[in-house]
Every structure is written in structure tokens, then in C-alpha cells.
Structure 1
Amino acid sequence: MLTEEGKKRRDALDAEIAERIAAFKVEQREMLEQLAEVGVNVDMVNQLPNVPTSDYVQALPILMEHLRREYSEGTLASLARSLATKEASGYWDELVAMYMASPDRPSKGPGNLAMALAAAVAAACPKDRLGDLEALVKNQRLPHRVLLLTPFKKRRGRDPAVASLIEELRHDPALAKEIARWKILASQANPRSH
């Protein structure tokens, strides 16, 4: 059971969240109307990352258009997370440019745009651009690089070049902990001598 002080803190937090949600709905009104025109009906764009991409793939151009605009950090992060899908591969170069600029961009309130852009860059990376993604994951100036590992993790057992890259990245302090958690694949296991 909460103390009186605990109840006051919870009520203040609930009020802050309600205020933020109301602001998102006002800020996103035009975008939500455009989404509804293509059959995507949500109360806030912040809900889209929790929806299967197949339910809103027709809205990707609208989402990208709005990601280029000035919104709160929370709305921009939600837009970027909504584009964290292979279906957004046509926007990959622009997502990369935004991600590369993110360390120099001042934060505007709650939300983490740089993290969301890193997720979008990884998910939308075309197969023929893995070399470019490799350069990004090695760029220690960029934030949240650990999220860029996802495409490599999926390919490490099938591609010797990717397996070699993972071995190299094991020594990067920002990536080592994540890589160490990965299950060792049969193709990576050292054969035992008898």
C-alpha cells in the first residue's frame, strides 16, 4: 500500500503522462488525419511501433515525410521506430543521414530519437548495404551502435565475412557485452580434439 507521499508522487506522474499524451495528440493531429486517409487509424503515432508493419506499410511515405518535420522528441522517436522495418529500406540513406546527425542534435524532451534512428537504420538496411552498415557500427562517434548489430547477428552463422566482423567487434567496449550474450552457433563452435 502506498504512503500519502507515494500517492502524491504517483498522481503527479499520472498527471504528467496525461499532459504529455494530450500534447502528442494535438501535435500529431494533421499526421493522424493523413494516416486515417490511407486506412491507418491510431490515436497517436506512438502506437505504431506496437502494430505489425503489414497494417501500416501504405503509410510509410507519410511517416517519413513527418520525420523530416519539427516535432517533439517523443513524436520523432515514435516516427523513427515506426520506420524500423525492412519495408522502409527505400528510405535507408535518409535514415542514415538523420542518425549520423543525431549526436549533434539537441534533445527536446522525453524520447530518444538517436536510439530510434539506430533501430530504424538496422531494420531498414538493404542486404546490399551491409558494408555501409559495417562502417556505421565501427564509427565510435555514433550513439546506440549496439542496435546496429541486429542484421549481423542474423547473418553470422551463414556468412564467414560477418562472422569475422563479429569477432573484430567483440573487442569494442560499447559492443562487447552484447556480443558476449549471443548464443554460440554450431558453425562457430571450436571442434574438440579427442
Structure 2
Amino acid sequence: MAKMTKTPTEDRAMTPEERAAQMRAYEDVVRERIAKAKVEQADLIRELAQEGVDVELVQDLMNRPNNYVHVLPILAKHLQLPYSQLTREAISRTMAMREAHPYWDLFARLYKELPPTNSAERGRPDDGLAVALSSSMPKTKLLEMIDLLSDQGLGDSRVLLLRALRRSREPLAKEAIDRLKDDPALTKEIHSWRRRKKP
């Protein structure tokens, strides 16, 4: 087998000029990404502003207190539109609050209907919806949440649903956690809780 040879840049550290050029290229990519997101989210951002919620991107809502409960209907409407994966994840995550419980059924339906994530595109809408489901789960939805967690076809994002069961004091939740402890997508998280409990 032929011996692999390194390129000259791999044999030495980057010069300050090369490092600066690399940083400029990265910043250009970020600026382009933000510009595209602003165009994509223009209608949503305008509707939020009409209700007194001023942000440049919906992602910015995740860095402020949950004082925007009154715009949850707007977010729920836009969550159902064909945005990019990154924007759909961001909308879901901004709705990850207890006050979003009226939208739990919507989150569950969208979660189950999601197409496979495109790994070539940024964003994980399945993760975003899982966080929203977990944060907003009413007690009356415990059995449905257990069904979601038990469905291995829904993928690894199910691990983010576990928080709702862990918070619950219902015996059914504890039984479900014990039953799911060997699920490949959940076992590491569940066993980590038990290790932390040890003195």
C-alpha cells in the first residue's frame, strides 16, 4: 500500500495570515447563513413584531425569558410551514415551555410525521420537537408520551423526551423508565441518572 503523504500545510502550523484568512472565510459563511435565515423568516419576524416581540431571527427568542407566551399561536402556525430544518428546530425550541401545553398534540403529530433529517443540512427539527414535547407535556398526555418513547422508529431524539418522564411522579412513568432502560437510544441517559444517585 502506498504511504500517505502530508500536504505542506499539514506539516506545519498555520501562519497568522492563514489563520486570519480562515477566520474571515468562516465569518463570511456565518453572515451568508444569517442573511438567508432573515429572508426565510421575514413573515414570521414581521408578525412577531406586530405583537411587540422584536427579534432579528426566531432563534433570538431562546436567549430571553419566556415573556412571549402571547405569540405562541403565531409560532404554532409557522411551525407547520415548510421552512428549513434549522428554522423548524428553532421555532420548536422557542415553544419549549409549560405554557405551550395546548399545542402538545400538534407537536406530537409533527414529530411522528417528520421526514428523515437531511444530514447535509443544518438543523434537527426532531430534536426541537422532542424538547417542546417534553417541556409542555400535560399530565394527561403521559401515556401518549410513553408510546412516543417506546417507538424506536422515531429515532435517537427520543432521549430528549425522557425529561418529562423523569419529572413525573406517576408510577407509570417510573415503570416506563425501567422498561426502556435497555433501549439503545435511551440506555446511556437512563443509566447515567442511576450512577449520579449513588453516594
- Tell me the TM-score normalised to structure 1 length: 0.86
Give the corresponding residue for 1:160.
171
Q: Which residue of 161, 172, 181 corresponds with 2:183?
A: 172
Residues 107 and 173 from structure 1, CA distance in 2 versus in 1: closer, same or farther, beyond 3 angstroms?
closer
The Cα of 1:2 is off from its aligned counterpart by: 5.8
Equivalent position amino acid for 1:77 in 2 = E
Distance 1:37 1:52 in 2: 19
- Structure 1 equivalent of residue 97 of structure 2: 85
Structure 2: gaps of 5 or more residues: 1-12
The 5-angstrom pairing of residues 130-141 of structure 1 reads: 130-141=142-153
Equivalent residue number for residue 128 of structure 1 = 140
Q: Counterpart of 2:193 in structure 1: which amino acid?
A: W
SS, match of residue 110 in structure 1: coil
Q: What secondary structure is seen at the aligned counterpart in 2 of 1:141?
A: helix
Q: Structure 1 unaligned runs (5+)?
A: 190-194
8 Å Cα contact 1:103-1:114 kept in structure 2: no
Q: What residue is the counterpart of 1:20 in the other structure?
A: 33
Residue number in structure 1 paired with 2:64: 51
**Residues in 2 aligned to 1:154 and 1:2: alpha-carbon distance in whole angstroms:** 49
Q: Secondary structure at the match of 1:111?
A: coil
Q: Report the Cα distance in structure 1 between the residues aligned to 2:140 and 2:96, rounded to whole angstroms.
A: 17
Q: Spell out, residue by residue over 1:70-93, the C-alpha distance to the aligned partner (whole angstroms, 9 max, x if none).
A: 222211111111111121111111
Please say which structure displays the higher CA radius of gyration. Answer: 2
Contact kept, 8 Å, 1:73 with 1:108, in 2: the verdict is no
Instruction: Tell me the alpha carbon deviations over residues 21-70 of structure 1, each in whole angstroms, 9 at most, x when there is no partner.
Output: 111112212211111111111111011122222x1100100011111112
Alpha-carbon distance in 2 for matches of 1:48, 1:56: 8
Q: CA deviation at 1:12?
A: 1.5
1:192 is aligned to: none
Partner residue of 1:73? 85
CA deviation string 1:157-194 (max 9, x = no partner): x33322222111111121110011115798xx8xxxxx
Q: Which amino acid aligns with 2:145?
A: L
The alignment yields a C-alpha RMSD, in angstroms, of 2.2
Aligned length: 184
CA distance in 2, matches of 1:108, 1:114: 15
Q: Identity of aligned pairs, percent? A: 38
Q: What is the Cα deviation at residue 6 of structure 1? A: 3.2
